[in-house]
Every structure is written in structure tokens, then in C-alpha cells.
Structure 1
Amino acid sequence: MNAIETYRANAAAQRAAAAQTKLQNRREMHERAAAVWETMADGAEETLSKTAINLAAKERASR
């Protein structure tokens, strides 16, 4: 499991915990945590995408 998959799994776990709790403040805490994990996953995906673009540009420049 790579980091992005781990982040998405953690977000899902937080959403599941939010769905199971009866206390609103705890539910909101889990939902905020899920949003943070999703943001981290999105950032990691963006970084991978930019890395691939930069590597492709470097390869083209070296030809």
C-alpha cells in the first residue's frame, strides 16, 4: 500500500468512525480528520503528477 492509498484508507476509517458515533462533537472531529487525510492524498497525487511532468521535460531537454 502506498502513501496515497494509506491516506485514503485513513479518511475512510475516519468517516466510518463519524458514522458510528452519537456525539456530534466527536462526529465533527472525525469528519475534519477525514478531510485532512483527503487533502494529504490529493497533495501527494499532485506531487506525483508534477514530478512526472518535470521528469518528462528533463528527458526532452536532454535529447
Structure 2
Amino acid sequence: MSQNFEFYNTRANEAAAEANAATLDNVRERALRSETAWREMADRAKQMEADRETARVDREKRQAELAASEAAEISEPLTA
């Protein structure tokens, strides 16, 4: 996982722990809102990482196909 995901997830866990330990309602509610925001950021970071990996695989596949196509063109005898 990326450092961003780990960072956001750690902050979310800290906020959840703060909410569980809170004795005042407003402090608990603030911590729960914070946890929700951190979890959303963690989810987006995780999705971005997955999207980047998909794009990388697709790019490598296209490059391999192009290289194979160019190699086939070079190996074909020219007909005039």
C-alpha cells in the first residue's frame, strides 16, 4: 500500500480511538467526523493506487503489442 493510504488509515484509527475514549458528546462527535473524513481519504488513496496499477499494466501491454507488431513488420519480406 502507498504511504498515503497508511497515513490516512492511521489517522482514522487514532480518531476512532479518540471517539471511544471521549466522555463528552461534542468531542466524540468531532472525533467520529474526523474518522469518517480520514477513512474517505484512505479509500480514495487506495483506489488511486489501484487505478495507477491498472493503467501501468495496460500501458505495458500496449507497449508489448506495439513492439511485437513492429517486429513482425520488420521480419516480413518486402513485396514490390
Give the match for residue 44 of structure 2: 43
Unaligned runs of 5+ in 1: none
Q: Which stretch of structure 1 is more off in the superposition, 14-23 or 42-51? A: 14-23
SS at match of 1:60: helix
Higher RCO structure, 1 or 2 (CA under 8 Å, sep 6+): 1
Give the structure with higher Rg (CA).
2
How do residues 1-63 of structure 1 correspond to structure 2 at under 5 angstroms? 2-63=3-64
Query: Percent identity of the aligned residues?
Result: 25
Aligned CA RMSD, in angstroms, stands at 1.3
Consecutive unaligned residues of structure 2, counting only runs of 5 or more, are 65-80
Aligned residues: 63
| Structure 1 residue 15 displacement after superposition | 0.8
Tell me how far 1:2 sits from its aligned partner: 1.6
> Matched residue of 2:8: which SS?
helix
Q: TM-score, normalised by structure 1?
A: 0.91
Runs of 4+ in 1 over 2 A off after TM superposition: none
Query: Shift in Å at residue 16 of structure 1?
Result: 0.9
1-structure distance, mates of 2:54, 2:3: 20
